[in-house]
Amino acid sequence: MITAAKLGLTYVPIDFRLTDHEVLSILQDCKPHIFVVGPAHLALVERIRDRAGSIQRWIALSQAPVPGYELYEDLIVRGEGGGLAYADDDGLFCILYTSGTTGRAKGVKISHRATLHNGLALAKAYAVDEHTRFLMSLPYSATGVVNHSSGPTLMMGGTVVFDEVRNFEAARFFSVIERNRVSHCQLVPTMMFRLLDSPDRTRFDLSSLRTVGYGSAPIPAHRVQQLTEAFGSVFVQAYGMTETCSLATTLNWQDHDVVGTPRQHILASCGRAVAEVEIRIIGDDGREVETGSVGEVAIRAPWNTSGYWANDQQTRELLRNGWLYTGDLGRMDEEEYLYIVDRKKDTVITGGSKVFSPEVEAAIASHPDVAEVAVIGLPDEQWGEHVHAVIVLRGGAVLTNEDIVAHAARSLSRYKLPKSVEFVTEIPKTSTGKYAKNVLRRLAVERPSVPGGLS
């Protein structure tokens, strides 16, 4: 990443979890000239190499010779090439391919200027400085690492701590924090819940932690209280997306210290806009809605993307009149806290009424035996769509469809209740920890039947 920036090249990281077809799709889309690969992925690359016609140099991160590849270490020893190239501020720093929750991944263009502005804003929001030791816990291809963690840390003269990200394990995570005196990390809620529930938590010295950032979803108030009691007042929620270079709003440390107070409701929000960011809530008529009303979240920031790589149509849909339309539905309260209600494409419309999946997920997740839940809409001949809940139970727990519906009915109107419930051992996720609802919908449609819930 740093080498590419200093040479004036464009950095395009690839998620290690992608299939042959998905990797090839990215290569055919952005047409790179240089490809650098580690030993763990050589077999995949060999399977698609003859179809990646744009690549002129293949470089292996390997100690031993690899036929058909230049060795990275040899290039360093030879030191070939000229001096550094100083890229234009508005030139491309990287192309980050989205995790694809709404379909095929798109290449998001991020400039050097956007990266710098976002990095400085993040450093302020997370209190990153030269003493920071930021642990990378998410895939290195994600904006949560490139623009949200490693970039700001290096800008401020801090230290980046790398660890294995393929399989998140609580004990290993705690050990890395203790051994390296980690001060910062960025997680998703499912990872945080694993840490909270781990019996290994009390065996390690975690006193070095100053900031634990998280994103992708708010955390229920009772879980925030548990997390704060376990780890201290170290949590900061950040809302953004790859297209906003990672950052738009934050729910800061003080905002989390409201459990049991009249302001506890703000824990359901993702905070307020950081400096230099403007947020509007836009209705279906294209006008800004009243405070408290739901509409699409639009963001204006100096670090927004300039668009999608080689995709003018979707760029026009994303960027309109200087504003970035996120595809998220949200509302703003009187204090300008932003509440994300749903993804626009994930809203379930049943019998003409809108059901926002996070509201249903929160109701079901409040059951003590529910570990994870994702809610989607499925085709329904009578209602158009019906609410379908996919649930992972805690170890040893046994619940029925009726148990789930009865629990949700305590806080939800009848039309919002799941009409079908499915218990699984794992919910598919994107590389950034979000539920892959497009995959859930496809799997549900492919099955001959879905378990019943409520008629």
H or E segment to which residue 434 belongs: none
Burial class (CB in 10 A: 0-12, 13-18, 19+), 445: exposed
Ordered DSSP codes for 226-289:
HHHHHH-S-EEEEE--GGGTT-SEEE-HHHHTTTTSTTGGGGGS--EEPTT-EEEEE-TTSSBP
Ordered DSSP codes for 293-340:
--EEEEEE-TT----BTT-HHHHHHHEETTEEEEEEEEEE-TT--EEE
Candidates 3.40.50.300, 3.40.1350.10, 3.30.300.30, 3.30.1330.10; correct CATH number of 347-446?
A: 3.30.300.30
How far apart, in whole angstroms, are the C-alpha atoms of residue 212 and residue 376? 29
> Could you give phi then psi for residue 311, rounded to 5 degrees?
-150, 75
How many CA atoms, within 13 angstroms, populate the side-chain half-sphere of residue 342?
Answer: 21
How far apart, in whole angstroms, are the C-alpha atoms of residue 209 and residue 211? 6
Q: How is residue 15 annotated by DSSP?
A: -
pLDDT score for 449: 53
pTM for the predicted model, two decimal places? 0.83
- The 10 Å Cβ neighbour count of residue 278 is 12
Among all chains, which residue has been given the structure tokens 């929620």?
A: 237
How far apart, in whole angstroms, are the C-alpha atoms of residue 241 and residue 247? 7
- SS3 (DSSP) at 145: helix
Pairing of strands 384-393, 420-423: parallel
Helical axes 189-197 vs 170-180, angle rounded to 10°? 90
Q: How many residues does the chain have?
A: 455
How far apart, in whole angstroms, are the C-alpha atoms of residue 209 and residue 107? 34
Q: Which residue ranges does the chain devote to CATH 3.40.50.12780?
A: 100-343
- CATH class for the region spanning 100-343: alpha beta
- What distances in angstroms separate CA 372 from CA 166, 324, 343, 418, one per listed residue? 20, 31, 18, 15
Tell me if 394 sits within 8 A of 371, measured CB to CB: yes
- SS3 (DSSP) at 399: coil
Ordered DSSP codes for 413-433:
-GGGS-SEEEE-S---B-TTS
Tell me which residue of 174, 135, 125, 186 sits closest to 158, measured CA to CA. 135
- The 10 Å Cβ neighbour count of residue 437 is 22
Tell me if 3 sits within 8 A of 72, measured CB to CB: no
pLDDT score for 455: 43
Pairing of strands 370-380, 353-355: unpaired
Q: Which amino acid makes up residue 71?
A: L
Among all chains, which residue has been given the structure tokens 């376990």?
A: 230
Q: Which residue ranges does the chain devote to CATH 3.30.300.30?
A: 347-446
Q: Please, what is the Cα angle at 115 between 12 and 99, to 5 degrees?
A: 45
pLDDT score for 195: 93
Cα-to-chain-centroid distance, residue 46: 30
Contact residues for 414 (Cβ-Cβ < 8 A; gap 6+): none
pLDDT score for 184: 98
- What distances in angstroms separate CA 300 from CA 274, 280, 326, one per listed residue? 11, 9, 11
pLDDT score for 238: 95
Task: Please give the structure tokens belonging to residue 113.
Answer: 């200027």
Q: What is the residue-level pLDDT of the chain in tens, covering all 455 positions?
A: 888 888 889 999 998 888 898 899 999 999 999 999 999 999 999 999 999 989 999 999 988 888 999 999 898 888 766 667 777 889 999 999 986 544 567 999 999 999 999 999 999 999 999 999 999 998 888 888 899 999 999 999 999 999 887 788 999 999 999 999 999 999 988 889 889 989 999 999 999 999 999 987 767 778 888 898 899 999 999 999 999 999 999 999 999 999 889 999 999 899 999 999 999 999 999 999 999 999 999 999 999 999 999 999 999 999 999 999 999 999 999 999 999 988 888 889 898 788 989 889 999 999 999 999 999 999 888 888 899 999 999 988 999 999 999 999 999 989 999 999 999 999 998 877 788 898 998 888 777 555 544 44
pLDDT score for 100: 56
